[in-house]
Chains A and B, each alone.
With several copies, the nearest count.
Chain A
């Protein structure tokens, strides 16, 4: 299945891209997709990462479905 992956701030700077699509096995979890992404963009490794799936915060063990939007980012610093 295909997952859209978004990066922001520090993760966008580390990955060198703001957006990508990855192909993963059906019912993959956030952790599996993230590991794949880190494989392609090893500079992400040093960061403490947070996740959202379809614009809701998600944990590493959350399941992802075809067409979902996964965002990978660091602790927010707005305000």
Chain B
């Protein structure tokens, strides 16, 4: 079963990884992104994630469809946290199950790169002396391609 979700609750990695496991698969690769305490020596107190929810879910769904076309994988689960996150809490989990781990690694790495580029979610970093909406690094999305080099 594939799934993508947005949630304001704490994300449990194990439960995400388990839900993508079909009986014929032997490996799951899971990317777990979380709130860093320091970004370039500036201390983050907490983060806030906001999404254009219906479009974010559509884009996540597109990522899954694209990945399943390009990689030999069985199931994918993506869960992104929204709202206020404390230091160390998981912001995003992408779990990919595949018969062979090589495809799971490749697909998972491709999906987190594309998610950061295409899924309409924004992060606000809150410091002791202010806050800032983080700008994505990758510029406007073109058609996603799994052959594309990392920017």
Interface bin, chain A:
20 to 34
Q: B92: which A residues are within 8 A, CB to CB?
A: 78-79
Number of A-B residue pairs at CB separation under 8 A: 84
Distance A22 CA – B116 CA, assembled complex (angstroms): 30
Please count how many residues in chain B sit with their CB below 8 Å of the partner chain's CB atoms. Answer: 32
| A9/B58 in contact, CB under 8 A | no
The yes or no answer to B127 lying at the interface (CB within 8 A) is no
| A78/B52 in contact, CB under 8 A | no
| B122/A55 in contact, CB under 8 A | no
- 29 CB-based A-B contacts, threshold 8 Å: A8-B120, A9-B50, A9-B122, A9-B124, A10-B133, A10-B135, A12-B50, A13-B133, A50-B140, A50-B141, A55-B52, A56-B55, A56-B58, A57-B141, A73-B122, A74-B122, A75-B135, A75-B140, A76-B116, A76-B120, A76-B122, A77-B123, A77-B133, A77-B135, A77-B136, A78-B56, A78-B120, A78-B122, A79-B116
Q: Which residues of B line the A interface, CB within 8 A? A: 33, 49-52, 54-56, 58, 80, 91-92, 112, 115-124, 133-141
